[in-house]
Structure 1
Amino acid sequence: MKIPGKIEFACGVRIRFRLKYNPSTEHGFLYKGAISTQTVYLNTSELRSKAASLRAGDRVLLSGTVYTSRDAAHKRIFSLMEQGKELPYSLSDAVIYYSGSTPAAAGLPIGSCGPTTSGRMDVYAPILYDKGVVATIGKGARSREVVEAIKRNKAVYLCAIGGAGALAAQSVKTCEVIAFEDLGCEAVKKLEFHEFPLIVGVDCRGGSLFDNRVGE
């Protein structure tokens, strides 16, 4: 007996899977779908060298330095680039998280810090990948142009789970505003992750978690 299903992964994006009944297993079902059952522990400093080993659907627990940048911050960063001015952070092997956190409660480094929809940054992402960014983090599918840039640069796109910002905050150990403080929650922040839960959305070969054929 096979039971088909779909999971609402992020803003209407569905991930297909199948459950096959097998009474010999602990829970009676075997899972087949887009998400890997393997978990990879990585530091951001390793992403460039380890990108080739990652596949769409792999689960990753990421530690290390990450920079937040959303719509408004991207516009300002590109304005600085056009003027030849110094950027808030080096793009070389940078990891960019599409997130705008809420204010932190007393004694905590950060408030809720879930991902925003990555598609809004698709116009910027190919150039940033070409300039050295090794990974972006967000939710939802990416455009064909972004996927091609990821392939071209042997980089990766990682997905965080939407709607779980308070849980994600537990994996952020430090938070420092480093640029555009006037943007409030969209200011650029330097975060230190510790085993932040992610899923590989697009791998360096162009494999995508959002391909309609995944899990078939």
Structure 2
Amino acid sequence: MKKTLNTPLTRDDLKDLKAGDVVYISGYVYTARDAAHERLVKLLEEGKELPFDPEGAVIYYVGPAPAKEGEPIGSAGPTTSYRMDSYTPALLDAGLMGMIGKGKRSEEVKDKIVEHGATYFAAIGGAAALIKKTIKTAEIIAYEDLGAEAIRKMYVEDFPVTVINDSQGNDLYMQGRKEYLEWANK
């Protein structure tokens, strides 16, 4: 059965997802990497509004390639998520419900994911040209000076992701390692 999610996300949307589930996301997703995250957290610390509503939002950790003529975006593969770990707890506290990237997350981030009923998804690294086909529109909404790392508001249809850290605290990377070691030690 195909699992689909539409943004903005809620706790209820995410509560039954399990680490390892393949999900297709449709709706608005925002791009941001570490330089943009630093600015977002500074705004939160100053009590100022973010350039997008964080309530139920999904952030995709990506610095897309420039768009070719007639396309909304260039290749858009995920970047390593741990680079955002020092900023993510504050964004989760502000209402962020989903993050898309690649690689593992810190214990602090995983604890905040559980606290807020959020989810961390992975996109397939190396599939940037295929991923861009799910991105229907993309517009810079903040920090144009950051170039590829500017914040973009993208509309996606059936963006494929895998649940890595679910809202119950399960971690696909840890589960996979455990299963492999059990198999290897037979």
- How far off is 1:129 after superposition? 1.0
**Which is further off, 160-169 or 83-92?**
83-92
| Structure 1 segment 54-69 matched on structure 2, within 5 A | 54-69=17-32
> Is the Cα–Cα contact under 8 Å of residues 59 and 197 in structure 1 kept in the other structure?
yes
Partner Cα distance (2:80, 2:168) in 1? 22
What do residues 81-109 of structure 1 show as CA deviations (whole Å, max 9, x unaligned)? Answer: 22222211111111111111111001110
What do residues 143-186 of structure 1 show as CA deviations (whole Å, max 9, x unaligned)? Answer: 11111001111110010011111110000000010000011000
1:172 to 132, 135, 147: 135
What is the DSSP-based 3-state SS (H/G/I as helix, E as strand, rest coil) of the residue aligned with 1:123?
coil
Q: Report the equivalent of 1:162.
A: 125
1:213 to 163, 175, 178: 178
1:76 to 33, 39, 50: 39
Runs of 5+ unmatched residues, structure 2: none
Aligned AA (1:42): L
Q: So what's the TM-score if we normalise by structure 1?
A: 0.79
Q: Report the equivalent of 2:14.
A: 51
> Is the Cα–Cα contact under 8 Å of residues 101 and 111 in structure 1 kept in the other structure?
yes
More strand by percentage: 1
Partner Cα distance (1:45, 1:143) in 2? 24
> Is the Cα–Cα contact under 8 Å of residues 30 and 57 in structure 2 kept in the other structure?
yes
> Is the Cα–Cα contact under 8 Å of residues 39 and 58 in structure 1 kept in the other structure?
no
- Following TM superposition, where does structure 1 have runs of at least 4 consecutive aligned residues deviating by more than 4 angstroms? none
Q: Share of identical aligned residues, percent?
A: 50
- How far off is 1:47 after superposition? 4.5
Partner Cα distance (1:116, 1:50) in 2? 25
| Structure 1 segment 99-118 matched on structure 2, within 5 A | 99-118=62-81
Aligned AA (2:90): I
- How far off is 1:77 after superposition? 1.1
Runs of 5+ unmatched residues, structure 1: 1-37
Partner Cα distance (1:50, 1:112) in 2? 28
Partner Cα distance (1:92, 1:47) in 2? 9
What is the DSSP-based 3-state SS (H/G/I as helix, E as strand, rest coil) of the residue aligned with 1:90?
coil
> Is the Cα–Cα contact under 8 Å of residues 157 and 202 in structure 1 kept in the other structure?
yes
Query: Could you say if the C-alpha distance between residues 64 and 144 of structure 1 is closer, same or farther in structure 2, counting changes exceeding 3 Å?
Result: same
Q: Report the equivalent of 1:181.
A: 144
Higher relative contact order (CA closer than 8 Å, sequence separation 6+): 2
Partner Cα distance (1:121, 1:59) in 2? 23
Aligned AA (1:127): A
More helix by percentage: 2
Q: So what's the TM-score if we normalise by structure 2?
A: 0.92
Matched, 1:204 2:167: yes
Matched, 1:141 2:104: yes
